[in-house]
Structure 1
Amino acid sequence: MKKQIAILRGINVGGKRKILMADLKELFVDLGFEDIQTYIQSGNVMFNSNEKKDNILIADEIEQSIFKEYGFTVPVIVISVNELNKAIAENPFFKKDSIDIDRLHLTFLKEFPETEKLQNIKSYNYSPDKYEIKERNVFIYCSAKYSDSKLTNTFFESKLKVSATTRNWKTVISLSELSKSN
C-alpha cells in the first residue's frame, strides 16, 4: 500500500463548492482507497492506495468522481507522503536567517511545468515576496499576508499552464505529522 495525499483546490471557501469531509471520505472509499483521513475543511485527504497508476491519473479519477457527485469541477493534486516530506526538507527559505513560518506557503503543481514556462516565469519579481520552484513545488515567502500577494494559484497556473493549489506551512507540517500517526 502506498500512502498518498489528495490536495483539493477551492472547496468550502466562502460557502461555495461545499463538500462535507464525511462525504468526501465516503467518495474515497467508493474509489477503493483505504485508511482515509481528512484534515481541515479545505480538502486535504490522506489515504492508502494499491493503485499502480501515477498520481496524475489518480487525481483525475478523484476529480471525475467529485464532478459526478457534486456537479462542479475541483482541481485535485495527489502526492505521496515521501514527496511531501522531501518538499519540507528542501524548503529553500529555511536556509535563510530568522524565517517566520507564518509567512511560508507551498504551492503544489499537478504536473511538472514545461522548461520554457519555467524560464519565462523567472522574469517575474514581486519583491518583497519571493518564490522558488523545485520540481512540482513552489515555495513562497510572503512579506505580509498571502491574501495580499500576487503569488497566487491563478498566477502560477496562468504562467506555468498547470493546475496548482496552495497550503500554508503549518498545514504542510500538520499533513506530514498526520501521515506518521496513520
Structure 2
Amino acid sequence: MTTTYAALLRGINVGGKKKVPMAELRQLMEGLGHDTVRTHLQSGQAVFASGHGDEESLADELTQAIEKRFGFPVDVIVRDHAYLRAIVEDCPFPAADLQPKQLHVTYFSGPVDADRFREIDQQACLPEEFRLGDRALYLYAPDGLGRSKLAEQLARPRVNKGLIATTRNWNTVTKLVDLTAP
C-alpha cells in the first residue's frame, strides 16, 4: 500500500545558508524510491508517495541522504495526509477568521506536553497565544511571526530540547493537506 507524505525540512534556503535546490531534492527523493515527488516553495516542503517505511524511518532516511548529497545536516519531519488533515481540523483558533500570517503551526518530531512550556508567561504576551496539539503547537500571533514575542520564547532551546521543531504558516499548513490528498 502506498501512502502520501509531506517532508518538512528545517532551516534550508534561509539567508543563503543550507542551500538545497528543489529540483535536486526531488531527484534525491526519487532516487530513494519515492513516487510522485513534488516540492512546495523553496523553504523546505516536499510531498511524495511511498510504499515502505513509516514517518520516522522515512525522515531518518531522508536526513541521511540529504547530508550525504549536500554535505550538511538538515532536520526532517515526515507526516502523512491523515495527520496533516487532523492538524487543520483540530485547530483551536478560528482559522477562517484570521489572516494566514497570524496563524502558525510548529510540528515536533515527538509528543509534547504542557510541562515543557511551564516557564513561558503567556499572559505577558497577550494577545498572542499558543495551544498544544498532537506533536504540534498552534501559535496565534496577530502581528505576524516576525514581531512575535511569544514565538521568540517558544523557540528557545530548552523548550524544544530533544526534539526537532519546524514552523509553517497557515497557508503552508493547508496547502500541504491539499498536496498530500489521495
Fold match by TM threshold 0.5: yes
Separation in 2, partners of 1:87, 1:106? 9
Q: Assess, with a 3 A threshold, how the Cα gap between structure 1 residues 164 and 179 changes in structure 2: closer, same or farther.
A: same
Partner of 1:84: 84
Contact 1:11 1:18 in 2 (8 A): yes
The unaligned stretches of length 5 or more in structure 2 are: none
Does 2:37 correspond to 1:41? no
* Structure 1 range deviating more: 171-180 or 150-159: 150-159
Cα distance change on mapping 1:120 and 1:13 into 2, 3 Å? closer
Structure 2 CA distance for partners of 1:136 and 1:177, relative to 1, 3 Å = same
1:61 Cα deviation after fit: 1.1
1:178 correspondence with 2:174: no
Q: Are 2:149 and 1:121 aligned? A: no
Bigger mean CA offset, 97-106 vs 34-43: 97-106
- What is the one-letter code of the residue matched to 1:158? R
Q: Secondary structure at the match of 1:82?
A: helix
- 1:53-98 CA distances to partner (integer Å, 9 max, x unpaired)? 3312211111111111111111100000110000000000028x94
- Which runs of structure 2 are paired with 1:41-80 in the superposition (5 Å)? 41-51=42-52, 53-80=53-80
In the alignment, structure 1 segments of 5+ residues that lack a partner are none
1:21/1:153 CA distance change after superposition, 3 Å: farther
One-letter amino acid matched to 2:57 = L
Distance in 2, Cα, partners of 1:156 & 1:173: 26
TM superposition outliers: structure 1 runs of 4+ over 6 Å = none
Superposed counterparts of 1:1-182, under 5 Å: 1-51=2-52, 53-94=53-94, 98-113=97-112, 115=113, 118-124=114-120, 125=122, 126-150=125-149, 151-152=151-152, 155=155, 158-161=158-161, 162-180=163-181
Deviation at 1:16, TM superposition (A): 0.9
Segment of structure 1 superposing worse, 97-106 or 37-46: 97-106
Residue-pair matches, total: 176
Structure 2 distance, partners of 1:158, 1:55, is: 25
CA 1:156/1:112 → structure 2, altered by over 3 Å: closer, same or farther?
A: farther
State whether residues 34 and 47 of structure 1, in contact with CA within 8 Å, keep that contact through their aligned partners in structure 2.
yes
Q: For the residues of structure 1 that align with 2:12 and 2:153, how far apart are their CA atoms?
A: 14
**Rounded Cα–Cα distance in structure 1 between residues aligned with 2:56 and 2:153:** 18
Cα separation, 2, equivalents of 1:79 and 1:120: 22
Paired residue secondary structure (1:3): strand
The amino acid of 1:39's aligned partner reads: H
Q: Please identify, of 4-13 and 168-177, the stretch whose mean Cα deviation from structure 2 is larger.
A: 168-177
What is the aligned-residue identity percentage? 33
SS in 2 for 1:92: coil
**Per-residue deviation at 1:158?**
2.8
Query: How far does residue 145 in structure 1 lie from its aligned partner after superposition?
Result: 2.0
